Structure 1
């Protein structure tokens, strides 16, 4: 009898061990860049070149993952965050993407910055079936799961932003004349399209537009021409350096239009201060994140926690620079996706989880802003709130506005 019990016990033990082993085998799936102990994440940033003011985003993200690692990592795995400079140059971006995928063997590339750079690497990333995740650009083309299933944006896309401004202008200033200054690339074209689509039958309100190249040393002639058009609304859709130059030139001309500024160029530290705070007063833009310079959020628990993070992990970072909030929130979303992946750290599952975010909300987002994705919706955020610069800080006004773009917007 005891021998038989022993046999049953051994059989049960063997079956249990086999079940545990098969469960572990079923659960733990890895692609290059993931192991039991680490997850390799690649990143491409313009630490030099004409858009170098965005480089702080990569530094904040590196600091965030350092904090995560100090807390034990994600699922017990440490994050190895590998970030390279592309100087905002598309050929350099391709070179760095290849290095990350083929030499460093990262699981994914997270938050590569800039519309031109992401456009350059998009076909390569999709051919390699490596996630190009939470692209740091509002380019509408980065939400096209049918043609580019391995590429997803995060921030509100530029066409949504353009539509939001158009709604406001149609409602408040229906008889105005609009002049548009835009960056001659996919970003500028996207923003301009959103504004025109949103104006609809009022598109004739746009009476002048001038483009510029991000590498242009001066944009004075374009601003003078737009000033001379007789417009009373001025749009600046430009990278931080170009936007700062535009604000300064508009101010120096003594021109007082209703001034609308792209959301990507609203940093007080890197745009408005260099342009001159006296020239920046009254500018209108959009927000979806809390602004660390806004007194409204001074004692907000999430902002207080973020400041403590900055003090400990990125002490050289400027706490007045909203790009450092942006980088933190993007990294939070990336961490959420990796948590949802569990032990199935395949590239396919990373994209599946990124496309399964339901009402994800960072406490550093404005109240009411939610992240939602699905297999056929790669636009995580499509809501924003208008804000006005009072000479010292941005002040929110109005309600959260949705500027949803149809799925044909990428074409």
Structure 2
């Protein structure tokens, strides 16, 4: 790392405090934790717009395969359209993170909502004129994936400028709850609206993104401390590499990122294994749907409890507690034959990860200099997306190779191995609380 880059890294912990003071100046009434967020007009506007936008996206995600099946009758082409969203988001993830660090972040978010509204409106018109084909659906899906690749790191990077430093954990947790709530409501709404009419889910998506766009217009996002936003598009590859190096060269960023990636990978595999196991045991499809809903409900409750747990537990205990809970809970599925009880197990498993995610994400955001936060989001988004995509493939391979109970125990063994590594990690044992982040420049590395 160059001397200039090292100087920026050493000064990074001071930036969140400046950001917090700047955001606090916008609304002197803010303070405390959850109460402060409730009084934070700008965060409320962003959060409300995005919960509606998430519902619109999830509605479209459910309606896409139903629409392709109705048009072509091909399950393979349904998968192609859905896969286009994920592939576009993964391919664009690293460049998008670098662009977020160059461009004005609020304008990026506004543009993403506007483009998604236009794309969904174009699909509605094509359906109305009976001119929609698979090619158009893939194009719309790609646009959605590209917009999400840009929006997500832009929003995450903006959080420390939108809320005071002590409210960042609460904002991270509420964003997680928002995502889960949007996915649950959108998933339920998508099938219902499609039954009303083929184009109805996409009409809802248009209005969802328009609502989010208007909400964003009124969000007052303080200016960034650096003057790099809007600089010319030069050396994009070099900037992407700078972001990758930053994440890899910071031990706590590297270790916590690997924790999140391994959790996504093995739990995605475990989830598919349990669904197949439940089906093989004759659990009705309705109960399997309830299982998925209870998983989402557990995640929402966990996200709501995350700020409290974050304040009460040390970062080390929060992180290893999640892995130990998974290690102890995941093998219980071998002995459960009821879909409702499996759903309760899913809810218990989903309850704790939001607390660890809050601790990890808060540290990552506050420790990373503002001019690198977009690239941090891009790197972590791509890594997490790859883990989430490979997890089901791993689960499917385990199901093909092993009996259901053995596949469950194999997933548990993998999680247990990661649990032991995290438990004995010196880097995690020295993980700082949020209040200590600003003092890291005076603390020797682990």
Question: Shorter-chain TM-score category?
Answer: under 0.3
Structure number with greater CO (CA < 8 Å, separation at least 6) is 2
TM-score (norm 2): 0.25
Higher Rg: 1
Task: Name the one with the larger strand percent.
Answer: 1
Task: Name the one with the larger helix percent.
Answer: 2
